């Protein structure tokens, strides 16, 4: 089964042809997609897409870029929204110190609220991290010591030290189109060391289109290129890569009903 674990179907890039994008994904063999919430104020739009399509599920959360929208976002708010049908994860959330679109202290506070919600709901936490390895590792470890929660390091491009710290907390990792980029050998090196039973795949569309589609608007239909690259990196056949990532997905996102 081909599963795109991270799509952004409510994005304005799909405003004119979302139905066609979903249809092309199905034609390409994508049997399940998870559309991701970038901020709580967008949750209604994200959730409506999941409710309208039998093969699409969703998350609830606020990206670190948008943390300033609600600096006092509470775990209870997130947990309440997560009780709605077809919600299977908390996030995308985390830290982004590259752009700093939200103040770092606000990013951290909002991130901790998401962790509390993940702990409260027992749903996986979809983590975004960029240029924040040490702080991210510290927060994950501090919070995990307070009570376990499930972690997905989404579109992982950070360093091996943070990856090792996350592995020790039982984290899963998702591989994106960045793995296909010529200059991404450091990313591929980390992928080689990820636990073989904790890897899933994603497009993060409409961003990060894989080679040979790089430079275009990304779509879920391009996922096979990422899966094939993962197989090449890990020495897996296409069938093995598909089977391994499918098992890992359903192990992590256990609220999802298998088709």
| SS3 state of residue 200 | strand
Span 72-92, average pLDDT: 98
- Residue 17, in any domain of the structure: yes
Write out pLDDT tens, residues 181-234.
999 999 999 999 999 999 999 999 999 999 999 999 999 999 999 999 999 999
**pLDDT of amino acid 257:** 81
Side by side, the strands of the sheet bearing 2-7 are 2-7, 30-35, 56-60, 87-96, 125-130, 151-153, 172-175, 199-201
Q: What mean pLDDT is predicted for residues 115-133?
A: 98
State the average pLDDT over residues 33-52.
Answer: 98
| Mean of the per-residue pLDDT values of the chain | 98
Residue 258 resides in a domain:
no
Residue 61 in any domain: the answer is yes
pLDDT of the residue at 239: 97
Q: What is the pLDDT of residue 259?
A: 75
Strand (E) or helix (H) holding 161:
helix 160-168
Residue 231 lies in a domain: yes
Q: Is residue 15's pLDDT more than 80?
A: yes
| Structural domain containing residue 21 | 2-252
Cite the DSSP H helix spans in 36-103: 43-52, 75-82
In a domain, 259, yes or no: no
CA distance 31 to 10: 19
Tokens for 105, please give them. Answer: 């202290």
Domain total for the chain? Answer: 1
Other Cβ atoms less than 10 A from the Cβ of 259: the count is 8
Q: How buried is residue 51: exposed, middle or buried, by Cβ count under 10 Å (0-12/13-18/19+)? A: middle
CA nearest to 47, candidates 6, 88, 98, 76? 88
Q: Is 113 helix (H, G, I), strand (E, B) or coil?
A: helix
Could you tell me which residues come within 8 angstroms of residue 144 by beta carbon, excluding any fewer than 6 positions away? 169
pTM over 0.85: yes
Residue 144 belongs to domain with CATH number: 3.20.20.140
């Amino acid at each position: 089964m081909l599963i795109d674990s991270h799509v952004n179907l409510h994005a304005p890039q799909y405003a004119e042809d979302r139905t066609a994008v979903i249809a092309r994904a199905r034609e390409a063999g994508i049997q399940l997609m998870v559309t991701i919430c970038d901020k709580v104020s967008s949750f209604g739009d994200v959730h409506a897409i999941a409710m309208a399509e039998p093969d699409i599920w969703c998350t609830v959360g606020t990206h670190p870029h948008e943390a300033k929208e609600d600096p006092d976002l509470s775990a209870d708010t997130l947990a309440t929204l997560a009780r709605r049908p077809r919600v299977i994860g908390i996030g995308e959330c985390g830290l982004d110190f590259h752009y700093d679109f939200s103040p770092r202290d606000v990013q951290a506070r909002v991130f901790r609220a998401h962790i509390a919600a993940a702990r409260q709901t027992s749903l996986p936490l979809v983590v975004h991290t960029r240029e924040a390895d040490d702080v991210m590792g510290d927060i994950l470890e501090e919070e995990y010591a307070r009570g376990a929660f499930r972690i997905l390091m989404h579109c992982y491009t950070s360093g091996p030290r943070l990856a090792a710290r996350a592995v020790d907390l039982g984290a899963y990792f998702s591989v994106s189109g960045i793995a296909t980029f010529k200059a991404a050998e450091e990313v591929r090196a980390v992928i080689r060391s990820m636990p073989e039973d904790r890897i899933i795949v994603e497009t993060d569309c409409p961003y990060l289109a894989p080679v040979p589609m790089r430079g275009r608007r990304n779509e879920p239909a391009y996922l096979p290129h990422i899966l094939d690259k993962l197989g090449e990196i890990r020495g897996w056949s296409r069938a093995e890569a598909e089977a391994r990532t499918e098992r890992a997905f359903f192990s992590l996102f256990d609220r999802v009903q298998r088709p």
